[in-house]
Amino acid sequence: MEPTTPALAARPDPSLSGESSESGLRRSMGPRHLVMIAMGGVIGSGLFLSSGYTISQAGPLGAVIAYIVGAFVVYLVMACLGELAIAYPVSGAFHIYAARSIGPATGFATAWLYWLCWAVAIGSEFTASGLLMQRWFPDVEVWVWCLVFAAVLFGLNAVSSRFFGEAEFWFAIVKVAAIIGLIVLGGAALFGFRPLGGSGEHPFLFENFATGSGVFPNGFTGVLVTVLAVFYAFSGSELIGVAAGETKDPATAIPKALRTTVIRLLIFFVGAIAVIAATIPYTEVGLDESPFVTVFSAIGIPFAADIMNFVIITALLSAGNSGLFSCARMLYSLADEGHAPRTLKKLTRRGIPLAALSLSMVGGVASLISSVVAPETVYLVLVSVAGFAVVGVWMSITASHYFHRRAFIRHGGDTSTLAYKAPLFPLVPILAFTLCVVSLVGIALDPAQAPALYFGVPFVAACYLYFHLRHGRRAAAAR
């Protein structure tokens, strides 16, 4: 499909050097905020709670391989994202990338897909956080904690984008500290050094990798299914693109943040999974508690369960904080393009799209309610679409990059002048897109994940149909 406005790809964006974006949002975040926003969106319950299930399915070595493959795909997507984020440094950037490089209908579908993804996630984070709080406050109802956390995250997002960035920075610090502690202390224990003591025998190095059922105890199919799940575990890294419109000096900050994020995700995820898999037998890991608790207890960390309960709650709130930010910016960008009510474009004096933020919070609360009232119907549909959305957005990013670069070259652009250039074009976007398609095929073969396609594909089709019925004539006239 041809880009709708190819000339945009051949000229620089004037906002690259400006202090504020043309849209009115404040450019107040630096590279460290971008990195921690992405880390905050990625590092959540998937690593702290579900990593044990991943190891049990793929086996110790299979789980490590799966996370390495996942990190590789993230690198490919982030390489495409970097070039686009600098070309179009605006808030809610996925919508803009797709709308300008592929077509406005694709931008519209991408924005609503991603908005719903995070709206569902927000409701889930509130519920999970409330359940975990009952460890310390068993007499307080879960819904009370849901309201408290909702109010806190709304306040953090409503003050200013810099305040949000600072909050996310410190949220992420807690999670990163827990992961570093696991890698350093757990790794030392594998070498026989346990300064904190611990109980029972401890495996040496990678003894647990030699299972009685071979390298891949559940066969290579177990590894394949795990790779698909790992793609979802890495979702959130693309939040750098959402925050591009509120970043100081995007041409410098975005490439730096992208490189740092990919390297840290590779070290943290693969390192943590390797230590867990080497410490706990794959047949026992994650069956009744967080594998982080199991490892910390084995190496003698006092109050390991309470510490990790706090860390996991922080991880959930961090992901919810990033998700609420993303939701609001997606709605703002839709309104800015004329594809959503204009009231969603209104900003406060601090440059916050408060109406879009409020509607996103309502979406999160609606998701929370549906998880209790209609878990087998409405909530199942929402969760399925949300799972599908991650790969869908990555496909949108890689396709947008392909068409953007092609138009840039066709209109006489010199790639040597680009502040950041994705390497090995067109191999990188094509390979990334292909791997995403393969993951969708794999989802169709897994009965547990198949509903993501059953509901996700019709949702995207409905977005395209609505756009053409509601905005089609105006979009055609704009060409």
> 40: pLDDT confidence band, cut at 50, 70 and 90?
low
Q: Facing residues of 26 across strands? A: 20
Of 15-24, 80-89, 107-116, 340-349, the poorest mean pLDDT is in 15-24
> pTM of the prediction?
0.80
Position 200 pLDDT exceeds 70: no
pLDDT average, residue stretch 244-258: 71
- What tens digit of pLDDT does each residue of 178-198 get? 889 889 888 888 887 776 665
Q: If we measure between CA atoms, which residue out of 475, 467, 436 comes closest to residue 227?
A: 436
pLDDT higher at 280 or 442: 280
Q: Which numeric CATH code is attached to 15-478?
A: 1.20.1740.10
Instruction: For the chain, give the mean pLDDT.
Output: 79
What pLDDT does residue 461 have?
A: 94
Which one-letter amino acid corresponds to residue 14?
A: P
Position 399 pLDDT exceeds 90: yes
Measured distance CA(401)–CA(395) in Å, rounded: 10
**Boundaries of every domain in the chain:** 15-478
Measured distance CA(349)–CA(345) in Å, rounded: 13
Measured distance CA(123)–CA(224) in Å, rounded: 29
SS3 102: coil
What pLDDT does residue 458 have?
A: 92
In contact, 244 and 254? CB cutoff 8 Å: yes
Measured distance CA(269)–CA(444) in Å, rounded: 26
